[in-house]
């Protein structure tokens, strides 16, 4: 139901050896929301996403997804339950075609609706349809980002976590990617978006969190953070 808390992170701590990358972060994502997590390089945003999706061990804290604790569960199990991340740098299978990459995205499913879902992904990303039989490695960075997002959608995410989808893309492609994030959200997918492009992310988000040196220091409605002088000074180049 609308407003149900789908993802709840409390006091999350993550360390790499002796380095504490996340030092007690707490945040929630509710059904239907687009929530963004902004912050400087090295603040701990990627590490937070990895810990939530089971690809980085949690030192301390609680993670609840769909009302149940999930700490310690592996990425495969979590993807199967609809907690799906598109990693920074995309990670597409470069020597497979677009369609084969999308089929790989459905590897946790065993229903007969994969072809129907590929058509849905093609409706969101007409560019992928045009290039269906092309090898992923021959596509541009923006096209590969679209493919990575399309592949994640094939797992039928209940919460989609996007790590820096606009990173390294041309201005036109950045526009396109933010359009597509808004489109996926408007079709009903709940999204947690990590972005360096704070102004674009906050403009789109229902709510946002600011992370600094491993802790959440501010939170609020996207528009409220966008007009906050501290956020403007630190992240919006004001
Ligand atoms: P960026 O936007 O640069 O990815 P971030 O906010 O996502 O920044 P993280 O990538 O989560 O930040 O990094 C948080 C801290 O953890 C940084 O100090 C980083 O150097 C450190 N860190 C990240 N990955 C590792 C790793 N595999 N081993 C050791 N330290 C790491």
In ligand 1, the atom with minimum distance to the C-alpha of 47 is 11
**Exposed/middle/buried for 68, CB within 10 Å: 0-12, 13-18, 19+?**
exposed
> What SS3 state is found at 173?
helix
Query: Is the per-residue pLDDT at 218 higher than 80?
Result: yes
139 alpha carbon – ligand 1 mean position (Å): 28
Cβ atoms < 10 Å from Cβ of 229: 9
Ligand 1: does its nearest atom lie under 6 Å from the Cβ of 39?
yes
Per-residue pLDDT of 187-196, as tens digits, reads 999 999 999 9
Question: Rounded to an integer, what distance in angstroms lies between the CA atom of residue 109 and that of residue 56?
Answer: 24
Per-residue pLDDT of 84-120, as tens digits, reads 999 987 788 999 999 999 999 998 888 888 999 999 9
State the chain's mean pLDDT as an integer: 94
Q: What is the ipTM of this complex?
A: 0.92
Ligand 1: does its nearest atom lie under 6 Å from the Cβ of 198?
no
Question: Rounded to an integer, what distance in angstroms lies between the CA atom of residue 121 and that of residue 233?
Answer: 38
This prediction's pTM:
0.94
Query: Is the per-residue pLDDT at 49 higher than 90?
Result: yes
Nearest CA to ligand 1 atom 26: 16
Nearest to 222 by CA among 36, 4, 49, 20: 36
Ligand 1: does its nearest atom lie under 6 Å from the Cβ of 19?
yes
Question: Rounded to an integer, what distance in angstroms lies between the CA atom of residue 126 and that of residue 48?
Answer: 32
Could you give the percent of the chain with pLDDT greater than 70?
Answer: 100
Nearest CA to ligand 1 atom 28: 16
Ligand 1: does its nearest atom lie under 6 Å from the Cβ of 21?
yes
User: In the structure, what pLDDT confidence band is assigned to residue 238 with cuts at 50, 70 and 90?
Assistant: low
In ligand 1, the atom with minimum distance to the C-alpha of 164 is 2
């Amino acid at each position: 139901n609308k407003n149900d808390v789908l993802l709840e992170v409390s006091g999350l701590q993550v360390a790499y050896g002796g380095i504490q990358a996340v030092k007690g972060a707490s945040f929630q994502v509710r059904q239907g929301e687009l929530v963004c997590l902004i912050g400087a390089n090295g603040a701990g945003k990627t590490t937070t996403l990895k810990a939530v999706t089971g690809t980085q061990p949690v030192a301390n804290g609680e993670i609840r997804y769909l009302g149940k604790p999930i700490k310690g569960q592996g990425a495969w199990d979590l993807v199967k339950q609809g907690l799906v991340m598109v990693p920074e740098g995309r990670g597409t299978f470069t020597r497979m075609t677009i369609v084969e990459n999308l089929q790989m995205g459905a590897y946790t499913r065993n229903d007969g609706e994969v072809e129907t879902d590929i058509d849905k992904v093609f409706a969101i990303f007409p560019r992928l349809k045009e290039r269906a039989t092309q090898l992923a490695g021959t596509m541009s960075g923006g096209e590969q980002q679209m493919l990575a997002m399309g592949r994640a959608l094939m797992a039928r995410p209940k919460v989609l976590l996007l790590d820096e989808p606009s990173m390294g893309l041309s201005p036109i492609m950045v526009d396109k990617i933010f359009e597509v994030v808004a489109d996926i959200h408007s079709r009903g997918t709940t999204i947690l978006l990590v972005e360096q492009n704070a102004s674009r992310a906050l403009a789109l988000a229902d709510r946002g969190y600011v992370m600094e040196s491993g802790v959440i220091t501010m939170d609020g409605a996207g528009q409220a953070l966008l007009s906050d002088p501290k956020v403007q000074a630190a992240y919006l180049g004001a």
